Amino acid sequence: MTQHLAAPAAPASGIDTDWWRGAVIYQVYPRSFADGNGDGMGDLDGIRARLPYLRDLGVDAVWLSPFYSSPQADAGYDVADYRAIDPMFGSLLDADALLRDAHDLGLRIIVDLVPNHSSDRHDWFRRALREGPGSPLRERYHFRAGKGENGELPPNDWESVFGGPAWTRVEDGEWYLHLFAPEQPDFNWDHPAVHDEFRSILRFWLDMGVDGFRVDVAHGLVKADGLPDIGVHDQLKLLGNDVMPFFDQDGVHEIYRSWRKVLTEYAGEKILVAEAWTPTVERAAAYVRPDEMHQAFNFQYLGTHWDAAELREVIDVSLAAMRPVGAPATWVLSNHDVTRHATRFANPAGLGTQLRTAGDRALGLRRARAATLLMLALPGSAYVYQGEELGLPDVTDLPDEVRQDPSFHRASGQDGFRDGCRVPIPWTTDGSSYGFGAGGSWLPQPAGWGELSVQAQTGDPDSTLELYRSALAVRRTQPGLGAGDSLEWLEAPDGVLAFRREGFVCTANTTGSAVTIPAPGRVLLASAGVEAADGKVELPADTTVWWAV
């Protein structure tokens, strides 16, 4: 039986100037969280109605994926108007009500900001197309003449992350750059108007009352001078630790220093969080120097296999990289762009890479629960993706005709199967959409989804939901958990991780067999049942235990 504590009380309200150093931040993907108006699409009213659930879960803040006005070519990451709510999600009045309710419940709200590119329906881009070559508006994007005798070839050899060329030709013969879908033209951050516009956008939402921004593609804003070709040889090199000419350029840091100054104009410790895919953790640390961002996602940790040696190495590297810049390490296991970890870990080999099959469901869930307790015990801040607290797997058998991930429809792009982690989450055991809303769901939910619902798991001491509630309650009350930048590794058998923090020990068995170790103290929480006797404890396979010492 899972050992657990009662669900936590609501987080304390009030200003905590270092709240983000140990925060647990819950990602809401608005399309798939809760539908308030019954149209089959999640919205702000649906989120607002479920805020008490998040308060009772025990998280500190909520990160909202994009809800801006958008044609939805890439699920809202193609923004047409950064100061408007898309009608599918509600209105600015709905956003204001959500912010007020969240703050009343002691929850902070972080919103997504998409500064690398806009929608091709953005007013700037539409005017640039209308006005033609030489238009001042074209200077705010990357328009170029093509190569070849008649300009029929792209300006360089860059490839889109979603597959295919990173350039699209318009009717007048010029080409524009898009590192993602053609509907997402990249801004030219060498232009001062782009800088001015985004500082204004920051102030708009800070005036609304948001508590911070998760910055999409934070590593991509600045491109190498002259937009040089990569070349076949250099493209092969980029599989290593080299910096791409369109990603992780040093010029991005001046942008974030200017944004940090904007945030200091507001009370309440507003934060910036970088989605920065960098070749090393050390490169990611550059984004969180004291005058830049507050946090950066730890993608190296997210991609690590369920393996003690690999985990220990990335934990050590992460803490060591963040310590000199005074930033907290962050830890994350799932998000809207990757296969859920309950499915990633369902491979007997313990792979942490993307999988397109269900694998061994029971094995995946057992490892996911253990991985969660390990993550929440580490020093720093943690991110939880909606539905992982229910142990949701990826939905791996979606028909091709219902998929909406743009990379699925373009050859040789990123994985292309992100829809599997975006299926609307279940709230009740039955109903047309398992409580998501009265009008079905925009992606089909699998049969049996209700068995994993909030309703089904609430009060069940063995459920994954109650494990999360208990873990966040312990984390909130245990002084050795949360913020910090160090831990002490303890001696442990092969395949077992053991470390100490103040008054606390965590042991994680990543092997497929039970392992007996000396009991380091009193059990606080375990991802599976443990038996202790005569000063020893048998750790079941793929199990993490928290101890008070």
**Confidence grade of residue 533 (pLDDT, cut at 50, 70, 90):** confident
265 carries an active-site annotation: yes
pLDDT, residue 231, reads 81
* Segment 179-232, tens digit of pLDDT: 999 999 999 999 999 999 999 999 999 999 999 999 999 999 999 999 999 985
Q: What predicted TM-score, i.e. pTM, was given to this entire model? A: 0.92
| CB burial string 509-547: b at 16+ within 10 A, e below | bbbeeebebebbeeebbbbbebeeeeeebebbbbbbbbb
Q: Do residues 61 and 27 touch, judged by C-beta distance below 8 A?
A: no
The residue type found at 465 is: L
pLDDT, residue 242, reads 55
Mean pLDDT of 328-350: 90
Considering only CA atoms, which of 274, 502, 531, 536 is closest in space to residue 377?
A: 502
Catalytic residue, candidates 74, 120, 216, 292: 216
What mean pLDDT is reported for the chain?
A: 91
Q: Which residue has the higher pLDDT, 139 or 163?
A: 139
For the chain, what is the largest distance between any 2 Cα atoms, rounded to a whole number of angstroms? 83
* Segment 356-407, tens digit of pLDDT: 566 799 999 999 999 999 999 999 999 999 999 999 999 988 877 777 766 6
Mean pLDDT of 122-143: 98
CA–CA dist 493, 513 (Å, integer): 12
pLDDT at 264 over 90: yes
* Segment 9-47, tens digit of pLDDT: 333 444 457 999 999 999 999 999 999 999 999 999 999
Share of the chain above pLDDT 90, in %: 83
pLDDT, residue 490, reads 97
* Segment 492-526, tens digit of pLDDT: 999 999 999 999 999 999 999 999 999 999 999 99
Helix (H) or strand (E) holding 369: helix 361-377
Is 375 exposed, middle or buried, given 0-12, 13-18 or 19+ CB atoms closer than 10 A?
buried
Catalytic residue, candidates 104, 131, 225, 265: 265
292 carries an active-site annotation: no
Of 224-233, 236-245, 324-333, 473-482, where does mean pLDDT reach its minimum? 236-245
Six-digit token string for 90: 């509600």
| CB burial string 434-446: b at 16+ within 10 A, e below | bbbbeebbbbbbe
CA–CA dist 363, 345 (Å, integer): 7
pLDDT at 418 over 90: no
Six-digit token string for 366: 């057992």
CA–CA dist 344, 379 (Å, integer): 24
